[in-house]
Structure 1
Amino acid sequence: MFLQGNATGAGANTTELARNQHPGLEEDVMDVTEGHEGNGSRGGVATSNLFGQVPEELMRRLSLDDDASSLVRQLSEVRPEDQWIVSIALLVANLSGAHLIQGEPARPREIAGAVEVVPGPFNYVQTIRTFLRRRIRDLLTVGNLEAYSRTHTTGGLPIASTPLVLLSRQLGDQPDDFKEDYLPPGWPDDEVANQSVLGLLRSLVKHERGSLRNLLLTNIKEFNHRAIDGPVPKLGDLILVIDRIMGSRDHLRPANQILGAYTSTMKVRLAYIRLEVVHHYLNPDPATNLSQWDIIDRRLEFLRRQSLNYKQAYARLIIKTDRELFGDFEFRDIPRDAIVLPSESQVQQEIGAANHVGPVGNGANETMVVDQDVFM
């Protein structure tokens, strides 16, 4: 029901985004079906940024993740008088990582004792990786997650519905022979085994989040083997694109069956995440170390604390913005300043308008109804 209606108002004020677009600092994770990111972007020509034209191009080619990009930003701000000691620290870290620095040789009486054999890293076969990847894709596309990257709220409380928590629970529900075949011995009670599994989960979740981001930027940012070839897809078409790449089903399904599997809550969620991702792509903030997923998680946390009327008003504004911007226009023709999240004043106005109209019954307003559990 969110797929009806035509976009309005976005074409009146066209702007050459291609000349204003700022390349984002967010990592581009290679889509396993689409290949590596291309060099160009139909969205525009990059302007000068924090690192300069050549260093930024180098960083992009290196595909640095959020943590590495954050470290680069921090190192670039080191005072000249402190750069020498920072250089020494980095050199020592590199030598240590290459095992070129050794500790004091053990004394003979220590060598005489029994040597504890530390087990090597566990080899996760493709079967368990595929098993987890399919469940991660389901969580990211049709799972009503409370957070996508963070495991604790800004107040330090644990978040129940996150990929890591839900995946760990799903692994725990598997039969014993499954765990014996595919997981390290002693999981989850053994600390080493537990850390190994968490490392695998974090790596897979991070990659699939990056793949989802790339798909959300369809016809916005150009990637190898997936060039910009038309308007930014409307929400229904975007869902079909995402499901084709990230769907865990083993058989093809008609479009109406795919769209029917996405509840109105998940349609709102994907529309919101796309708007957030595009806004972050156009407006990277070098002054913050927060990734786009941190920003998304914090806003979802804020929305969970609001009233039901507030959540539903926010959801209606998200769908309205999505319809107005996407579906009919190429990205370069969409005004950059129109790609924004709903403001507090807009939400309050929407709440007031809904109170005056009363319960939605029929007609055009019916398409704006959202689930009561939207944004949970």
Structure 2
Amino acid sequence: MAPNTPLFLSQYSASDRPESTPAPANRRTLSPRDTGTSDKFDNDDASWHGKVTTRTRITACTTVAADNEDPFSPSSDPEDPDIPEHVPKVPKDNELEDELENHPRLQTTMLALLGVEGNQEAIETQLAQMTNEETIAALLCTHAAVIKRLDNLAALMAGGPTQTPPVPNPVSPLFHEEQVRTHVYPGVFKDYIRRIAREAMLDKTLEAYGRDRQERSLFRTVMAQLALQLPTFKRANLPPKYLLDDQLAIAHVVAQVKSQLKHVRHKARNVLLTGMNPKDPPGYIPPLDEPSRLLWRHFMGGNTTMSDDQVTALLDLRPLLCTWFAFLRLATIHNHVSDALRNVSQWDQINCRLAQMRTLPVNYTRHWHRMLCSKDTQLFGPAPMRADLDIEQLACPTHAEVNARIAAQGARE
């Protein structure tokens, strides 16, 4: 550091100042009115700040005017006694432009604070004009800013991409077996199972209603639809560890699905037996058109947005579905009125008939369908009461009757 800086200057009393040394030509003497203090100004010093100065004479430096005093100079005298020394004075709004023009270092500092890159040549010029104290202060500030920026970058690189932490499963004091056994299925899950089961019963290609191991059974169709659900739905409605293929949880879900399918089949049976109970409306057994509409609305979740004519027009486009409804109704009524079949489920009887029909040729199936629709019209076309029905005739066409019809048609041809 150069010896002409204030840090290396010794202090002495005012009486020791030399009085015979003339003031340099490039300086002007400041009066107490200009400085705001009653002390005397020593022309031999480079600058004076209202305190004792050094013996060393500085003749190579020029003095900054009082009204343009550099706020970043370490020798500046703060106007406010509460502000510590070496703190720059913030210019007022109306003096900002003048201060920036008179103090280029202030302009560079403000550009650095705003994050704007300044002129490199101007910065080099300012560094060359700085004193040792100002240069050291600028270097320290630069090093501190670089270290802070590196720390921020290191923290960002160590943190990695921001990810939402997974929601932990609630901790339960019960064992897994107790959690599965006490699991309560919400109404949303039960409604979902019943809805997809009713829609599956509209499929005329269904091969079994009660046999769970059948490939195209009602149970396997519902379980396949459940497997397509999102993990969030399964996690919210099914027992713990079901997504992990836990056998205990799977068995509990299978039991719940079978319970809901039993409920769906029971509701469908009540619709198929419409008119068989004299105490229930309408009091008679309606023709096929009316139970077909009732079954379609039931399987579609109680659809009431369509009128009867609209539903009838829709069913006219699906004649095989109406034939399917006729088969389901006649088989259910036969199981209901037969004393020998009271302990046999009508769905088991229907499954047996479907398994038998799959082994027969297509020509046989066509004749059986025609005989079935003809018999339904003969029995229920006049909308009879139950007491007027011949119980012996309430059965699907037998194998012998179908073969006789096929033989008679072949003889005519």
Q: Is the 8 A contact 1:137 1:248 kept in 2?
A: yes
Q: Which amino acid aligns with 2:288?
A: L
Q: Do the aligned partners of residues 182 and 116 (structure 1) sit closer, same or farther apart at CA in structure 2, a change above 3 Å counting?
A: closer
Q: Which amino acid aligns with 2:372?
A: I
Matches within 5 A, 1:181-192: 181-187=236-242, 189-192=245-248
Q: Which amino acid aligns with 2:380?
A: F
Q: Any gaps of 5 or more consecutive residues in structure 1?
A: 1-114, 152-157, 359-376
Q: Percent identity?
A: 26
Deviations along 1:94-123, one digit per CA (max 9) or x if unpaired, are xxxxxxxxxxxxxxxxxxxxx955324322
CA distance in 1 between counterparts of 2:218 and 2:375 reads 28
**1:313 aligned residue (350, 367, 377):** 367
Q: Offset at 1:237?
A: 0.6
Matches within 5 A, 1:268-347: 268-285=323-340, 290-328=344-382, 329-347=384-402
Secondary structure at the aligned position of 1:209 is classed as helix
Q: Do the aligned partners of residues 249 and 273 (structure 1) sit closer, same or farther apart at CA in structure 2, a change above 3 Å counting?
A: closer
**1:212 aligned residue (268, 273, 279):** 268
The answer to whether structure 1 residue 196 and structure 2 residue 249 are counterparts is no
In terms of mean alpha carbon deviation, does 341-350 or 193-202 score higher? 341-350
Which is greater in Rg?
2
User: Counterpart in 2 of 1:148?
Assistant: 209
Q: Do the aligned partners of residues 314 and 176 (structure 1) sit closer, same or farther apart at CA in structure 2, a change above 3 Å counting?
A: same
The answer to whether structure 1 residue 240 and structure 2 residue 287 are counterparts is no
Q: Do the aligned partners of residues 356 and 213 (structure 1) sit closer, same or farther apart at CA in structure 2, a change above 3 Å counting?
A: same
The answer to whether structure 1 residue 352 and structure 2 residue 407 are counterparts is yes
Matches within 5 A, 1:53-92: none
**1:265 aligned residue (294, 316, 320):** 320
In terms of mean alpha carbon deviation, does 275-284 or 248-257 score higher? 248-257
**1:253 aligned residue (306, 312, 315):** 306
CA distance in 2 between counterparts of 1:210 and 1:228 reads 18
**2:191 aligned residue (117, 130, 147):** 130
Secondary structure at the aligned position of 1:285 is classed as helix
Q: Which amino acid aligns with 1:138?
A: E
Q: Is the 8 A contact 1:217 1:274 kept in 2?
A: yes
Q: Any gaps of 5 or more consecutive residues in structure 2?
A: 1-173
CA distance in 2 between counterparts of 1:277 and 1:250 reads 24
CA distance in 1 between counterparts of 2:226 and 2:175 reads 30
The answer to whether structure 1 residue 169 and structure 2 residue 224 are counterparts is yes
Deviations along 1:286-331, one digit per CA (max 9) or x if unpaired, are 6x95322111111111111111011111111111110100131222
Q: Offset at 1:125?
A: 0.8
Q: Is the 8 A contact 1:230 1:330 kept in 2?
A: yes
Q: Is the 8 A contact 2:284 2:385 kept in 1?
A: yes
RMSD of aligned residue pairs (Cα, Å): 2.5
How many equivalent residue pairs? 235
When normalised by structure 2's length, the TM-score is 0.52
Deviations along 1:51-89, one digit per CA (max 9) or x if unpaired, are xxxxxxxxxxxxxxxxxxxxxxxxxxxxxxxxxxxxxxx
When normalised by structure 1's length, the TM-score is 0.57
In terms of mean alpha carbon deviation, does 133-142 or 247-256 score higher? 247-256
Q: Which amino acid aligns with 1:319?
A: C
